[in-house]
Amino acid sequence: MSAFLEVKNLSVAFPTEDGIVQAVDSLSFSVEKGKTLGIVGESGSGKSVTSLAILGLQKGSKAQVSGEIWVDGNEIISSSESEVRKLRGKAMSMIFQDALAALHPYYTVGHQIAEAYLVHNKVSKKVAAARAVEMLDRVGIPEPHKRVNDYPHQFSGGMRQRAMIAMALSCNPSLLIADEPTTALDVTVQAQILELLRDLQKEFGTAIILITHDLGVVAEIADDILLMYAGKQIEFGTVRDVLQVPQHPYAWGLLTSIPRLTGDPNLALTAIQGAPPSLISVPSGCAFHPRCTYVENVGAACANIIPELLPVSEGKHHSVRCHMSANVREGIFANQVGPQL
Amino acid sequence: MLKYTLRRIVSGTLVLGIVSAIVFSIFYILPSDPARLACGKSCTPELVARIQVALELDQSLPVQYGRFIKGIFVGRTYLENTDAARECGAPCLGYSYQNDLPVTELLVDRLPATLSIAVGASILWLLIGLSSGILSALRRGTWIDRTSQGFALAAASLQIYFVGLVLQFIFVDKLAWLPMPGYTSPFDYPLDWAKQMVLPWVTLAFLLSAIYSRLTRSGMIETMGEDFVRTARAKGLSSRDINLKHVLRAAMTPIVTVFGLDLGSLLGGAVITEYVFNIPGLGKLSTEAVTNLDLPVVTGTVLFAAFFIITANIVVDLLYSALDPKVRLT
Amino acid sequence: MTSVNNPILSVQGLTKHFPGGRDGFFGKRDVVQAVDGVNFEVAAGEALGLVGESGCGKSTTGRLITRLLEPTAGTVTFEGQDISHFSNSQMRPIRTQLQMIFQDPYASLNPRHTVGTIVSTPFKINKITPEGGVKRRVQEILEIVGLNPEHYNRYPHEFSGGQRQRIGIARALALRPKLIVADEPVSALDVSIQAQIINLMKDLQKDFGLTFVFIAHDLAVVRHFAQRVAVMYLGNIVEIADRDTLYATPKHPYTKALLSAVPEADPDAIGARERIRLTGDVPNPINPPSGCRFRTRCWKAAEICATQPPALLQIGKTQVACHFPE
């Protein structure tokens, strides 16, 4: 299956008063139809900026975007705004974290879904309205013919997010980007929404990019994980690879520091010291080195040379950006990290 | 909605009642003789005596107020059964002895001029203010934006009477493109009416379009940063649709309500404009009444203006809830 | 129902109703039943976790305990004193012993005050001068929470989220309180920082013998901090048990569903767990369901659930409010 989305060396920089903020640096990845890629990172990692770049939403702003983004045979970065507009909502859609802020407060939900449909389909308003009801039904909203005339603030958080999904899928896009879709929701509602996304993907074969900071969410529905730190991709692999045999010290830190429902709760969580860097002054060399406890295994390179993204071993799908040799990493993982997971 | 409207009308009427009581009482709390005050500047002792009887000043204050209120509903006859009897039909807002006319008649006579100024100017300032504000917001940071906002700032810093007099000097005195401003009924001579109104309209619109331009611009810019605009872009909507249907629609709500309030207060009299151009409207009437100490007219104009403002407030609140579904009227 | 001897905090029948909108001209005023008849106790030195989803009333309970709100009914007893209706001036000496940490480290610090001012305000308000002076003591506290004492004169915006939360903790610690109510102290922080703050709070608890009421929606976080856990749903407590019992053998269907919904960062764990999917959304607290409030989403709901609200009863090591506990 050829990739529906292919990103090659994407870089996004923002000129600010304090200097250039390199939000994304040479990012490359691809997503196939029917598959889910989880882009994981904390604040400042560049994950949201990436998603906006894929939709070309930074065109016309001060952002400096370079590289190539191929969506269904169309290159986004070099295309004009009007060319990309044809793809937005049709070939690729996006849903956002705060559904209440992301929906227009003055128009009914039905109107907004119909609007999304009418942008790309020359049909009558009646047909579009019917489509809106159909979509609300598909995403599991009860009494859709009634709720279609409600305003966003009249929906509960979970229902609102479903409505946004309905709107995003109204034109059957092949790629859905979900930016922290469940972060603002209760955990029981989050489970419902993730299940809905999984079901819809099975039904329509949509490629999904799920952006999140929550490793549990990624484990639930992603096939692959792309871990980002300070604008760079630092680890990539299947969900099993990255969560069960992680290679990057940052991934180790994350996985050993998150509280879980299993394991000994009396043990102190192994926190990562320090804080995610400000993108205006990204540390030299490996951006993670000030917080990394394994620098001594490598030496001066960590602070001076940016490591390459390399496969963990010959030909493997799993890659990591770290100076430590594979042997050293394996050793550390086996002795220190693995037992904690 | 209906219950809300009724409740607001009831409370609005109460407020009007309170305003009328206050204005009425001031008449009598002032140290001078009320009859003398009602008489006004050009007065004779005989007239004062007559007024004293007419106003029934021997009655207690609440009784007099009661008569006044009653007069509003059923009319009133001053100095009944004398040869100086004056009829004051309902709604009777008092009697102006200086003009020898019921106040209501005076108000009704002056209303069309004020209406013409207010409505005409408001359409003008809305058109100019909105379009320049929208243009500035869309072309933010460019020379278009800077010039139009600079203009707006300059216009806002000029006083109405200054603008009015300068414009009159240029267009009436020097260029003679326009006749002297005044008032002719549009039903009689529509063209003359329009020509005479141009300067008052432009003068008023000068200042207010500046204000509305800034309001629109900042409202649009703020709304453009909202999440739902990003969603609209992500849906593939064209810039035009986004700016009109999403941005403007959301940004307009506070502007519409401000407009309602501005219009409401203007209807009580565009005081400075009318004075500068000598137009026989409510504003001029009220300033003349104050200058001449014709207190019945002052009472009338105050009540009239209060009525418009209260009504405007109610309409604006209703409008706001119609525009913004999140606002539930309770 | 006293499961705790000499509790430092005792809450009985705690209720808070908020007035909502009015229905029509003369209609009844809506009442938001945010907290309805909540009972629990906290022993000195322990950490009680209060978990639940949005609208369950846990934050309101936290504010009632610290008397930022006044209860509509019921009592809050702190160190033997009934503080339920104390006035502000009566609360002032109590507040030296009873403090709160808030969720949003960006909003809960006054941006115009320096760190030094923020942490020294408790001393000023209570007119307490510690040995060595206020500034010295403040710098000591800053160090205890892991901040640089030299940053005494910096402003909140110069700090990261995690550091700001430490400032909030320092402020709460200033007068050496006995009980701290922490309302979602780590929810707004980055994942890699959360562990730091949780560890810090655990160390402080040990070093200073603090008692905590830890309010959170994240069950995994609570598990690493609390010794006992109370689960809330729509204004009621539905289950209280010690940590291990609750997580291993939850008795209330809601607790079970809640635990099964927590995503685990291990793809293999997903298949292993029993998945319980709740349908629908949390009902409106203005019109909570009759009887047991959870019945509209409960797979076990029977007739009695609609007519009789279940009482919080002791079953083994757990107190649970359900007609058909697991």
pLDDT, tens digit, 9 for 90 and up, residues C213-225: 999 999 999 999 9
* Residues 6+ positions from B273 with CB-CB distance below 8 Å: B117, B121, B160, B164, B200, B203, B204, B279, B283
Q: Residue A241 has what pLDDT?
A: 92
**Which residue from C54, C194, C202 is facing A186, i.e. has the nearest CB?**
C54
* Residues 6+ positions from C133 with CB-CB distance below 8 Å: none
At B155, the pLDDT band (50, 70, 90 cuts) reads: confident
Nearest CA in chain A to C284: A156
Task: For residue C203, give the nearest of A19, A269, A193, B156 by alpha carbon.
Answer: A269
Task: For residue B227, give the nearest of A99, A51, A109 by alpha carbon.
Answer: A99
- The pair phi, psi for residue B44, each rounded to 5°, is -125, 155
The answer to whether residues A114 and A128 touch, using CB atoms and an 8 Å cutoff, is yes
Cα separation, B267 vs B278, in Å, equals 17
**Which residue from A215, A261, A271 is facing C199, i.e. has the nearest CB?**
A271
Cα separation, B256 vs C118, in Å, equals 43
Residue A285 vs residues A230, A295, A306: alpha-carbon distances, Å = 12, 12, 4
Most confidently modeled range among A161-170, B19-28, B53-62, B157-166: A161-170
At B259, the pLDDT band (50, 70, 90 cuts) reads: very high
**Which residue from A142, A192, A219 is facing C265, i.e. has the nearest CB?**
A219
Per DSSP, the three-state class of A71 is strand
Nearest CA in chain B to A150: B325
- Cα B272–Cα B273–Cα B279 angle in degrees, nearest 5: 115
Tell me the pLDDT of chain C averaged across its residues: 90
Alpha carbon distance, N-terminus to C-terminus of chain C: 21
One pLDDT digit (tens) per residue for chain A, 341 residues? 468 899 999 999 999 888 889 999 999 999 999 999 999 999 889 999 999 999 999 988 899 999 999 999 999 999 999 999 999 999 999 999 999 999 999 999 999 999 999 999 999 999 999 999 999 999 999 999 999 999 999 998 899 999 999 999 999 999 999 999 999 888 888 999 999 999 999 999 999 999 999 999 999 999 999 999 999 999 999 999 999 999 999 999 999 999 988 888 888 888 898 888 888 888 999 999 999 999 988 889 999 999 999 998 877 789 999 999 988 998 998 888 887 77
The answer to whether residue B330 scores a pLDDT higher than 60 is no
Q: Residue B272 has what pLDDT?
A: 85
* Chains contacting chain B through 3 or more C-beta pairs under 8 A: A, C
Residue C147 DSSP class: -
The answer to whether residue B32 scores a pLDDT higher than 80 is no
Alpha carbons within 13 angstroms on the beta-carbon side of residue B242 total 21
At C277, the pLDDT band (50, 70, 90 cuts) reads: confident
At C1, the pLDDT band (50, 70, 90 cuts) reads: very low
* Chains contacting chain C through 3 or more C-beta pairs under 8 A: A, B
CB contact under 8 A, A89 and B234: yes
At C265, the pLDDT band (50, 70, 90 cuts) reads: confident
Chain B neighbours among A 84-123 (CB < 8 Å)? Answer: 85-90, 93-94, 96, 98, 101-106, 115-116, 119-120
Quickly list DSSP for A282-314. PPSSSTTGGG-TTGGGT-THHHHSPPPEEESST
- Picking from B85-89, B123-127, B163-167, B198-202, which range would have the lowest pLDDT averaged per residue? B85-89
* Residues 6+ positions from C253 with CB-CB distance below 8 Å: C276, C294, C298, C299, C300, C322, C324, C326
Name the strands in the sheet holding C98-101, side by side, starting at the edge strand that comes first in the sequence. C98-101, C179-183, C211-216, C47-51, C228-233, C236-242, C318-320, C313-315
% chain B with pLDDT above 70: 92
Cα separation, C157 vs B16, in Å, equals 50
User: What token pair was written down for C93?
Assistant: 């000496």
Residues of B in contact with A85 (CB under 8 A): 236-238
Q: Residue C2 has what pLDDT?
A: 44
Cα separation, C223 vs A95, in Å, equals 32
Mean pLDDT of C119-134: 89
Alpha carbons within 13 angstroms on the beta-carbon side of residue B216 total 30
